[in-house]
């Protein structure tokens, strides 16, 4: 009688998956890997100069779990030139969620010296670049160990304004807009008013979780209340984490809102599995 012999490494990998499937509820990754300045596209910026679009990747070192969900993060900074993908709270959120088992990517997008002088042009550039980032993730999903039907969009401040327009706009016959695979949107104090563009939310759009300080003088908290109302009207899952008395960028409350975001996303991922 021949004995069937299992190789140790594949067996341990199988057991790791069975005993510790992805949940995202705990920071169970002791170490993560960070790859910086990965090119994902080329473009022309507002000055007419060529610009290489770059992203950073934060991923778990442990490779037993395949087809992980991803979070594509968009930085804040008022669409101005002083901030990029290395913004501190974006780096911290990407790190924390990579430790929860997500593959996180923080992208650059085109910014301007005076973005409010041409809000439509500023938003158009940023949307194009964000879509290039999403398409790059789709095209490289196998290499990255990502399940391309489980992509979360996350953005803070200007990145949240961008994310709202990115996740809830619809394409036309002339201008396609591929939102496939977008599972949810994490909006960090970035709920826009109509000056940054209009969009229609419908029942098929992704769920949204919002973190917002009630005393935000840069992006009014009332904007988030209005968006929640619109989401409720079409029965799109949502949650508003209101931080009482906090102003703009209440990152000091991250220990609390990180856990709530993780639970919100875990419930959504569980629903589609």
21 falls in which pLDDT band (50, 70, 90)? low
Host domain of residue 57? 23-206
268 falls in which pLDDT band (50, 70, 90)? very high
Which pLDDT score, from 0 to 100, does residue 19 have?
46
Return mean pLDDT, the chain.
Answer: 92
Which pLDDT score, from 0 to 100, does residue 65 have?
84
Assess whether pLDDT exceeds 70 at residue 22.
yes
Which pLDDT score, from 0 to 100, does residue 25 have?
83
CATH number of the domain that 130 lies in? 3.40.50.1820
Angle (nearest 5°) at CA 70 between 182 and 226: 45
The tens digit of pLDDT for each residue in 229-253 reads: 999 999 999 999 999 999 999 999 9
| Cα(5)–Cα(115) distance, integer angstroms | 64
Arithmetic mean of pLDDT, 45-73:
94
Arithmetic mean of pLDDT, 84-106:
97
Question: Could you tell me if residue 5 is inside a domain?
Answer: no
| Cα(167)–Cα(170) distance, integer angstroms | 8
Q: How many domains does the chain have?
A: 1
Question: Could you tell me if residue 169 is inside a domain?
Answer: yes
Which pLDDT score, from 0 to 100, does residue 8 have?
43
14 falls in which pLDDT band (50, 70, 90)? very low
Question: Could you tell me if residue 99 is inside a domain?
Answer: yes
Q: pTM of the prediction?
A: 0.91
| Cα(227)–Cα(153) distance, integer angstroms | 17
115 falls in which pLDDT band (50, 70, 90)? very high
The more confident residue out of 4 and 114 is 114
Which pLDDT score, from 0 to 100, does residue 267 have?
97
Angle (nearest 5°) at CA 93 between 144 and 67: 25
Question: Could you tell me if residue 174 is inside a domain?
Answer: yes
Q: Name, in order, each residue with C-beta under 8 angstroms of 106's C-beta and a sequence gap of 6 or more.
A: 55, 56, 58, 73, 74, 75, 85, 86, 90, 91, 94
Question: Could you tell me if residue 165 is inside a domain?
Answer: yes
Arithmetic mean of pLDDT, 39-45:
98
Q: Could you give the 3-state DSSP secondary structure of residue 175?
A: coil
Question: Could you tell me if residue 66 is inside a domain?
Answer: yes
Tokens read off for 219: 């992006």
Q: Could you give the 3-state DSSP secondary structure of residue 251?
A: helix
Which pLDDT score, from 0 to 100, does residue 20 have?
46
Please state, in angstroms and as integers, the Cα–Cα distance from residue 253 to each residue in 72, 158, 257, following that order: 21, 19, 6
Question: Could you tell me if residue 105 is inside a domain?
Answer: yes
Which pLDDT score, from 0 to 100, does residue 26 have?
87
Question: Could you tell me if residue 92 is inside a domain?
Answer: yes
Which pLDDT score, from 0 to 100, does residue 4 have?
42
Assess whether pLDDT exceeds 80 at residue 7.
no
């Amino acid at each position: 009688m021949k004995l069937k012999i299992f190789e140790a490494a594949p067996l341990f990998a199988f057991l790791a998956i069975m005993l510790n499937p992805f949940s995202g509820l705990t920071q169970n990754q002791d170490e993560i890997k960070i790859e910086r300045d990965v090119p994902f596209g080329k473009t022309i910026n507002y000055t007419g100069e060529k610009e290489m679009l770059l992203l950073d990747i934060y991923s778990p070192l442990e490779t037993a779990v395949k087809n992980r969900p991803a979070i594509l993060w968009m930085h804040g900074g008022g669409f101005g030139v002083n901030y990029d993908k290395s913004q501190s709270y974006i780096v911290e959120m990407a790190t924390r969620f990579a430790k929860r088992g997500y593959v996180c990517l923080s992208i650059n997008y085109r910014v301007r010296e005076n973005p409010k002088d041409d809000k439509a042009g500023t938003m158009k550039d940023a949307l194009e670049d964000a879509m290039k980032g999403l398409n790059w993730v789709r095209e490289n999903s196998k290499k990255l160990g990502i399940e391309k039907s489980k992509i979360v969009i996350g953005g803070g401040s200007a990145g949240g304004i961008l994310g709202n327009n990115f996740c809830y706009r619809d394409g036309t016959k002339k201008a396609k807009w591929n939102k496939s695979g977008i599972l949810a949107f994490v909006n960090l104090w970035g709920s826009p008013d109509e000056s940054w563009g209009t969009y229609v939310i419908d029942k098929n759009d992704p769920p949204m979780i919002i973190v917002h300080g009630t005393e935000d003088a840069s992006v009014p908290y009332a904007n988030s209340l209005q968006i929640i109302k619109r989401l409720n009207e079409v029965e799109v899952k949502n949650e508003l984490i209101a931080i009482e008395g906090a102003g703009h960028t209440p990152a000091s409350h991250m220990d609390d809102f990180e856990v709530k975001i993780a639970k919100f996303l875990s419930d959504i991922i569980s629903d589609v599995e």
